[in-house]
Amino acid sequence: MGFVSHEKTTFPKMAGSGFNDFVALSSIHCDGWGVSTIDHDEEKAHLVRSAEMAHTSSQFDSAIANANSDGGLLHLRWATKGLPVSENNSHPFVYKDFTFIHNGAIYPPSALDEYIDPEFSWMITGDTDSERYFYLLMTEIKAHGFVAGVQRAVAIVKKHADYSSINAMIMNEDLFIALAEFDPERRPSFGDPDYYELNYRQDEDGVVVASTGWPHGEWLPLPNHHMLIVDRTSFATKILPL
């Protein structure tokens, strides 16, 4: 889940009455949680994360209560098979004012290593494909700008790696981008047909994007193979192909 808002607010207020149902997804996505915030006029993202189940964690409750911001990301981790459960492997990942979350798996996790600039590769502290995906994004964003860099990074993953989903959200003080890029046939065996789909809502409060699996009302679908871009100053939105 991610949001940007006109005024500082909280995840429960932006998500609405179904927020507790979203958190209950951690009974399956039980291998860690993380919360990051980045206000539109800040230069560094703030991060709290832990390798425990969110809905039984008092630290999670505290993090949600204290995450009062005009931009934030929330992640409930379900570890890819074979990857350890640890704080370093929990999302979000942050670099300066950039913060990032990913849902899915890239095989093998090392598939992206050669495309990550050494400026960023030394920062990798965990074992996950997701952290490598983030630093690939940072590599391409530094070289080509935020929007073009995201498109180029996704193209690299699609060309050089195998994946079930590279759905992601990435935010800095200027933009919020949500990516829908997944193979619906590779969802978990128990997953509904919409398992990997992303939906969003834009209203007078701002924009919120989230995965499925919880009751959130009539939100708009973000089409697969597309990205939603939100300008955090004007709140103008556009959807571009990946």
Contact 118, 143 (CB under 8 A): no
The domain made up of 2-241 has a fold known as Glutamine Phosphoribosylpyrophosphate, subunit 1, domain 1 (3.60.20)
Contact 225, 154 (CB under 8 A): no
Q: What is the pLDDT along the chain (242 residues), one digit of tens a residue?
A: 999 999 999 999 999 999 999 999 998 888 899 999 999 999 999 999 999 999 899 999 999 999 999 999 999 998 888 888 888 999 999 999 999 999 999 999 899 999 999 999 999 999 999 999 999 999 999 999 999 999 999 999 999 999 999 999 999 999 999 999 999 999 988 888 899 999 999 999 999 999 999 998 889 999 999 999 999 999 999 999 99
DSSP helix, strand, coil percent of the chain (3-state; round to 5): 30, 30, 35
In 3D space, the residue among 49, 32, 181 whose CA is nearest the CA of residue 106 turns out to be 181
> d(Cα 112, Cα 160) in Å, to the nearest integer?
8
**Number of other CB atoms surrounding residue 158 within 10 Å:** 14
pLDDT of residue 25: 93
Rounded to the nearest 5°, which phi and psi values hold at 121?
Answer: -60, -30
pLDDT of residue 31: 85
Residue 232 has what DSSP assignment? T
Contact 76, 29 (CB under 8 A): yes
pLDDT of residue 81: 82
Q: Where exactly are the structural domains of the chain?
A: 2-241
- Angle (deg, nearest 10), helices 129-144 and 146-160: 130
Contact 38, 74 (CB under 8 A): no
> d(Cα 146, Cα 172) in Å, to the nearest integer?
9
> d(Cα 188, Cα 207) in Å, to the nearest integer?
28
pLDDT of residue 79: 84
Which phi-psi region, left, alpha or beta, contains residue 64 (left: φ > 0; alpha: ψ -120 to 50)? Answer: alpha
